[in-house]
Amino acid sequence: MTTTETTLTITGYSNDEVCACCGKTLVHGIRLADGRIVGAQCFNKVLTKPLTYGGKSYRLGAEGIIKYAKIAEFYTPQAAMKRFNVYPEMLTFQAA
């Protein structure tokens, strides 16, 4: 297993933007570390691989991605860990 897999990191939240993936007008934009703003559905279904737990794959869903983006935007990593139990590693996903 190689550790040089491409990753995508959520760095913030933005509203009233245009998706860099499909071109739709967004109500909830997800800001990525590479500067792109994408929609929660595109990020969840198109741009990332499913997460695995106990040998089964799952996805967070658009509402979970929006929650993570808002936490990344409005809280420091220490506050996010303390208040929401969201660690910085949880904001990084494997690219599809």
DSSP structure string for 14-31: ESSEE-TTT--EESSEEE
Q: DSSP character for 49? A: P
Q: Which of 58, 77, 50, 61 is nearest to 28 (CA)?
A: 61
Displacement of CA 26 from its chain's centroid (Å): 15
42 and 22 Cβ atoms separated by less than 8 Å = yes
Q: Residue 47's CB: how many other CB atoms inside 10 A?
A: 20
Kindly report the pTM of this predicted structure: 0.87
How does pLDDT run along the chain (96 residues), one tens digit per residue? 444 569 999 999 998 899 999 999 999 999 999 999 999 999 999 999 999 999 999 999 999 999 999 999 999 999 999 999 999 999 999 998
